[in-house]
Amino acid sequence: MDNQKPNQEPMTPSQAGQQILIVDDNPTNLKFLSTTLNHAGWEIAIATNGDMAIQQVKNNPPSLILLDIILPESDGLATYQKLKASPDSQDIPIIVTLLSETVAQVKSLSLEVVDYITKPFQLEELLVKVRVHLQVHYLTKNLEQKNQQLCATREQLQAAQKQMIAQEKLATIGALTAGVIHEVKNALNFVNNYAQYSVELSDELLEEVEQQSQKLETKAVDYMKENLNVLRENVVVINQQGQRADSIMQNMLMQARTDEHQFHVTDLNSLLDQAMRLVYQSRRAQDNCFNIKINTDYDDSIEPLELISAELSRAFINIIDNACYALLEKQKYYQAQKEHNISEFMPKLWLTTKNLGKIVEIRICDNGIGIAPEAQEKIFQPFYTTKPTGEGTGLGLPLTYEIIVEQHGGMLKLESELGVYTEFIIILFAVN
Ligand SMILES: Nc1ncnc2c1ncn2[C@@H]1O[C@H](COP(=O)(O)OP(=O)(O)OP(=O)(O)O)[C@@H](O)[C@H]1O
Ligand SMILES: [Mg+2]
């Protein structure tokens, strides 16, 4: 055993707080190892047999274990195997201390020990090996942590990539939809034109029958008149519904155009009005009892503005659709309370535009459920939604914010009172 004083090397930051567990039943060895290592700056724990060592590791896992293995009589080998088998301790580096004459024997067991130290101990060798293995262990842990972070980042990247692919698909569907809508619109054009023509033809035929009525049998005249009138009415309905389908297609076409990311001179009032109609039509298509009172007050003095119309229309649709949802929620509440004789609720939506000189102000207000002050801070955050799972993505308002603020350099504000109203105020700058 080397009795010289250990070198007083400065403690490294990682050394502070690191504990070494010494497992040895020989009091002289224990004393030397604990004094030396403690003097070098490490905290020391001692175990004089295997069970004690396992208990200590369980209670307070050390950074490194110095394990005495005297073959064949000591329980060091069994302790080693138990430590390596337990998930709590299998990662802790173990340096085996042994007699030089047993090294070959222990090596033949091919244990996963990080290193050996032979007795009698050499001070320098002991300190260097302990320091190196602690450092290696620390660096390995660090690397594992970095690796985990990298894996997490990779997962995030993959998720983002999936989202981009999904968006790309949507864009493709959008482009396809635009093509299909064009075709349907063409077909509808024929339907509408022929329907109009057929109405005129029915009128002419009715006139002709009227003129020829003297020459024909009264019964035959009545029969023709009656059927011509039915035919005319049918064609009028076909024409009305065809016009309606055409206006729905027109609105959808505006939405589906994905390549339209250019600023175009646009009539703001009609863009807002079309967005409102589209939301209303689609809500009605889902539920034909859907009924709200819509008040519009559009300022005619607003000059056409340079806007990305498809995008801004999407923003209006998001806000108006949210308003409709809030109105329906309040209506549901009132209906549930009906037996308590709560006064009637009339769902209302107000759309207002105002020319304020250099700026244009758009207000979209509903008397729905309102938004609590603490939720008002969150509603523009992606994925924040109060809708039941599967019904809302919580992306409507973040997208709306991006369109108005980022793309159009405008402003989006919110005023609301829980249970009373919600108003979104949009400011756009008129560029000359
Ligand atoms: N007019 C409103 N009245 C009451 N709450 C609203 C109103 N507008 C938005 N909110 C609240 O803001 C939340 C977020 O709205 P956002 O449009 O971002 O997502 P969403 O409507 O929940 O989902 P998605 O737009 O995908 O259907 C809504 O879930 C709702 O709680
Ligand atoms: Mg929404």
Distance (Å) from CA 275 to ligand 1 centroid: 17
pLDDT in tens, the chain (432 residues): 444 444 444 444 446 578 999 998 889 999 999 999 999 989 999 998 888 999 999 999 999 999 998 755 557 788 888 888 888 888 899 998 888 777 777 777 777 777 889 888 888 999 999 999 999 988 988 999 999 999 988 888 887 777 777 776 666 666 677 778 778 888 888 898 899 899 999 999 999 999 998 898 999 999 999 999 999 999 999 988 888 888 777 767 766 655 557 888 999 999 999 899 988 888 887 788 889 999 999 999 999 999 998 889 989 999 999 999 999 999 999 888 877 666 789 999 999 999 999 999 999 999 999 999 999 989 998 888 898 876 777 888 988 998 999 999 999 999 999 999 999 999 999 864
Q: Report the largest interatomic distance among the alpha carbons of the chain, rounded to a whole angstrom.
A: 142
State which of 318, 374, 379 you would mutate to test the pocket of ligand 1, scoring each by most atoms of that ligand within 8 A of its C-beta.
379
Output the pTM of the full model. 0.52
CATH 3.30.565.10 fits 260-429, yes or no: yes
State which of 322, 369, 374, 376 you would mutate to test the pocket of ligand 1, scoring each by most atoms of that ligand within 8 A of its C-beta.
322
Distance (Å) from CA 165 to ligand 1 centroid: 25
Q: Which ligand is nearest to the CA of 398?
A: 1
CATH number, domain 19-121: 3.40.50.2300
Give the pairing of strands 421-429 and 359-366.
antiparallel
**Tokens representing residue 257 in the block:** 């155009």
Pairwise CA distance, residues 134 & 95, whole Å = 10
Pocket of ligand 1 from Cβ distances under 6 Å:
318, 322-323, 326, 366, 368-369, 371, 379, 384-387, 392-397, 422
Residue labelled with tokens 């990298």:
150
DSSP letter string, 302-362: PPPEEE-HHHHHHHHHHHHHHHHHHHHHHHHHHHHTGGGTPPP---EEEEEEEEETTEEEE
* CA 73 to each of CA 26, 78, 108, 381, 421: distance values in angstroms, whole numbers, following the listed order: 14, 11, 17, 67, 84
DSSP letter string, 211-260: HHTTTS-HHHHHHHHHHHHHHHHHHHHHHHHHHHHHHHHHHHHHHH-SS-
Q: Which ligand is nearest to the CA of 400?
A: 1
Give the position, in ligand 1's atom list, of the atom nearest the Cα of 395. Answer: 18
> How many residues does the structure list for the chain?
432
Q: Which ligand is nearest to the CA of 386?
A: 1
Residue with CA nearest ligand 1 atom 28: 385
Residue with CA nearest ligand 1 atom 31: 386
- For the chain, first and last CA: distance in Å? 92
3-class DSSP assignment, residue 183: helix
Domain boundaries, the chain: 19-121, 155-258, 260-429
